[in-house]
Structure 1
């Protein structure tokens, strides 16, 4: 159940949230919102893969 939830969230993230790697965002210059979005996407992706 948990893994399917995170897989669903990963698909939603891909559709809704911006891709900072494609934009070549420098993480040292990222705003707090951008860092929060990046952290959320990493968290969801990590849990979807495990």
Structure 2
């Protein structure tokens, strides 16, 4: 399940590391997206 969500995140959600987003200037929504991607990625790698 988590591997599927990780692939879906990669396709649908923006990659802020490629855009070189400064975390101190990120909005709350951007921080939430980063946290969600991190959570799903770590769960997918753990399985």
Indicate the TM-score class for this superposition, using the shorter chain for normalisation: over 0.9
Equivalent of residue 38 in structure 2, options 42, 47, 50: 42
Divergent runs of 4+, >4 A: none
Q: After the TM superposition, which residues 23-34 of structure 1 pair with which residues of structure 2 at under 5 Å, given as runs? A: 23-34=19-30
Q: What's the counterpart of residue 18 of structure 1?
A: 14
Over the residues paired in the alignment, what is the CA RMSD in angstroms?
0.2
Task: Give the Å deviation of 1:34.
Answer: 0.0
Greater CA radius of gyration, 1 or 2?
A: 1
- Please give the TM-score of this superposition, normalised by the length of structure 1: 0.91
Q: Point out where structure 1 has 5 or more consecutive residues left out of the alignment.
A: none
Q: How many residue pairs were aligned?
A: 46
